[in-house]
Amino acid sequence: MRLLIIEDEPGIARFLKDGLEEEYFAVDLAHDGKTGLDMAMTNEYDLLIIDWMIPALSGIEVCRQVRKGGSTVPILFLTAKDTLEDVVFGLDAGANDYIKKPFEFEELLARIRVQLRTTNRVEESLSVGSLSINPVTHQVFSGSTELTLTPKEFALLEYLIRNKDRVCTRSRIIEHVWDIHFDSDTSVIDVYITFLRRKLESAGCGNIIQTIRGVGYIVRES
């Protein structure tokens, strides 16, 4: 799951990024509306968190432009504005939900999960062969045996299984799992694939992660 946060207060932005990454999300940051809109329109995100009062372009205008472009990505406003008129104005601009500052992180996380479930971006479980994962509880099972994965291993496995039977290129994996953008060195993916394969094969899942030489990886029934 890849999220975009558009927030101009560095402390809040870093707090959100760190907290959401601990919850297995890949997170991109933008500190003004223009940069955030450019990122939202050129990258694929599962959810946007937008502060209302940001430089260059307001959160409201960012939301309107995203919707004008035809995107249905869930948008959650995070702002100090809290009157009924403000709430209605934000929702009418295209936002899906609204949470005011100051906020509790657990509430924000719950609202994010509601939006992802509502838009079918989070299923209760995903499976391939004897392997099943729960994106909500972050548990992985081979039959009745639970596997222990690191957050990054889980995020990588979830992305591959969500794209079962489809080739996942290294560039797409690095963007959706590591929330960074580069074309030259994607060797970190190969390292984590090796870790995952060892754990899956030890649990009796077989060789479900297969290499497409020169391109990336694909998950298939072993």
Q: Could you give the percent of the chain with pLDDT greater than 90?
A: 52
Rounded (5°) CA angle 6-8-14: 80
Structure tokens at 104: 């509790």
Distance CA(121)–CA(48), nearest Å, equals 13
pLDDT of 122 reads 57
pLDDT of 181 reads 58
- The b/e string for 62-92 (b: 16+ C-beta within 10 A; e otherwise) is bbbbbeeeebebbbbbbbebeeeebbebbee
Give the predicted TM-score (pTM) of the model.
Answer: 0.71
For residue 26, which amino acid is it? A
- Is the per-residue pLDDT at 21 higher than 90? no
pLDDT of 212 reads 92
Closest of 144, 44, 48 to residue 96, by C-alpha: 48
Range list of β-strands (E), 137-221: 139-142, 145-147, 168-169, 209-212, 216-219
On whether the 2-118 domain is CATH 3.40.50.2300, my answer is yes
Residues 6 or more apart from 177 whose CB is under 8 A from it? 26, 152, 155, 156, 159, 189
Give the best-scoring range by mean pLDDT among 35-39, 89-93, 122-126, 206-210: 35-39
Structure tokens at 62: 């960012």
- Is the per-residue pLDDT at 73 higher than 90? yes
Angle at which helix 10-22 crosses helix 105-118, to 10 degrees, equals: 60
The pLDDT-based confidence of 59 (bands split at 50, 70, 90) is very high
Q: What is the DSSP letter of 38?
A: H
The residue that leads in pLDDT, 102 or 51, is 51
Closest of 216, 206, 197, 23 to residue 128, by C-alpha: 206
pLDDT of 91 reads 85
Tell me the pLDDT of the chain averaged across its residues.
88
- Is the per-residue pLDDT at 4 higher than 70? yes
Per domain, the residue ranges of the chain are: 2-118, 126-219
Q: What is the DSSP letter of 136?
A: T
pLDDT one-digit tens code per residue, 177-192? 876 655 556 788 999 9
The pLDDT-based confidence of 146 (bands split at 50, 70, 90) is very high
The pLDDT-based confidence of 61 (bands split at 50, 70, 90) is very high
Distance CA(32)–CA(13), nearest Å, equals 11
188: exposed, middle or buried (Cβ count in 10 Å: 0-12, 13-18, 19+):
middle
Structural contact between residues 13 and 31, judged by C-beta atoms closer than 8 angstroms = yes
pLDDT of 114 reads 87
pLDDT of 221 reads 83
The CATH topology of domain 126-219 is: Arc Repressor Mutant, subunit A (1.10.10)
